[in-house]
Amino acid sequence: MTTKIWQKTASANIEHSAIVEKFTVGNDVAFDYVLAKFDVLGSLAHCEMLHSIGLLTIEEWTVIETQLRIILVEIAQDNFTISPGIEDIHSQVENLLIHRIGETGKKIHSGRSRNDQVLTDLKLYMKSEIKTIVEHTETLFNTLIQLSNQHKNTLLPGYTHLQIAMPSSFGLWFGAYAESMVDDMELLLAAYNVTNKCPLGSGAGYGSSFPLDRQLTSDLLGFKMLNVNSVYAQMTRGKSEKVVAMAMSGISATLSKFAYDMCLYLNQNFGFIAFPDTLTTGSSIMPHKKNPDVFEIIRARTNRIQALPNELILLTNNLPSGYHRDFQLIKEGLFPAIQSLKDCLTMFDFMLQHIEIKTNSVHDSKYDYMFSVESVNQQVVDGIPFREAYKNIGLAIENNLFEPNYNLQHSHIGSIGNLGNEQIEMAFANIKKQFI
């Protein structure tokens, strides 16, 4: 069994039993591959800082930097592995350096704990992934704005309580989800700001007697500011992930509702939209079926992502300050959820590239009453008090005397065609530029 970096000797009598190690490490090594690049970047910044305060000579720093950058290339080329028996990515990088450059490699951990090391890795990872989610969100947002503008005058029956309500438009429908993403971006920005604070140098939560230049490492790693209090820096483990999960939950809620709309509107009883046969699935027994499996899977995935904040709360809400091994399990929920959300955003945009809009939906006789409000409004314009006009049209409907005025139907298009997309686009752009 490989000696751990926290072991004082290689004596066999202090080795953990294999069963304990298997249980405590679990699948963590697999998730550590995701953090590999960020761990090396953190070590580069930390070692440059150690050189700046005199704990590494220029020769030592030069050879460490060279080897760390080689490891970074190996990671990028998928030519990096965590050896059997190595606990984590931090141990693997340190062991590699010791193997390649000897005693100098043993110096890189001065003034650092695995606690602040993994915190830094996680925050760099989450910052990077939030930016990627923003990019995917922007792609879908732009598609929605384009479809909204394209179909701003195409009428779509509106529903409340799943009952026929008032006329809407496909432009309003697409635009609504675009604007929903503006609020989702606000949540992503808040999560980004929480993660954009550097914990490196806080050690195990109690700092270091070395004269560490924490501001230098923060600047080198591109953080906006420090987690100043070393105890609180450790308290951000779990808290940062929860905030990110909540932001992901926001955009997942938008996608879930949108996916439900897609399933509903594709249903034959609605028939508002269609997709090519290649993007739907059939039945093994019913030859007429065209099932919206893509949107059902998106709905299920995004609903599962919305459960993630609660899972992380249950993992962490009864823990005192300081590090606890419980935090390790956060990766098992968060990392796959991040990838799943990116996949859902990409797939939703792909499907929208192939959506077919049915333009004749409102001509069905069951929508005759949809413009009854316009008839009420017309009577108000003619001088009848609203409550009397409402009663007049209501009685006409109840007595089957109501006749839809199709001229009023066409006049309604002007009001629902005023989408406000320019303001929505500006709001989105103003939020996006703050991810720096």
Residues labelled as active-site residues = 161, 283
For 358, the token pair is 């049915």
Residues in the chain: 436
Q: DSSP of 141-185, one letter per residue?
A: HHHHHHHHHHTTTSEEEEEETTEEEEEEEHHHHHHHHHHHHHHHH
Query: Do residues 45 and 106 make contact, with C-beta atoms less than 8 angstroms apart?
Result: no
For 183, residues 6+ apart whose C-beta sits below 8 A from its C-beta are: 250
Amino acid letter, residue 101: I
Residue 403 has which token pair?
A: 């006749």
- Joined together, the tokens standing for residue 39 give 């761990």
φ/ψ of 272, rounded to 5, equals -85, -25
The residue to which tokens 């695995």 are assigned: 114
End-to-end CA distance of the chain: 44
Backbone dihedral angles phi then psi of residue 302, each to the nearest 5 degrees: -70, -30
88 touches 30 (CB < 8 A): no
156: which 2 tokens? 């779509």
Asked if residues 255 and 180 have their Cβ atoms less than 8 Å apart, the reply is: no
Closest C-alpha to 137, from 242, 263, 250: 250
Which residues lie across from 163 on neighbouring strands? Answer: 160
Task: From residue 185, give the alpha-carbon distance in Å to each of 331, 344, 379.
Answer: 23, 16, 43
> Got the DSSP string for 341-388?
HHHHHHHHHHHHTT-EE-TTGGGSGGGGGGGHHHHHHHHHHTT--HHH
Q: Which residues, other chains included, contact 115 with Cβ-Cβ below 8 Å and sequence gap of 6+? A: 202, 203, 204, 205, 234, 237, 323
Residue 362 CA to residue 232 CA, distance in Å, equals: 59
C-alpha neighbours within 13 Å on the C-beta side of residue 337: 27
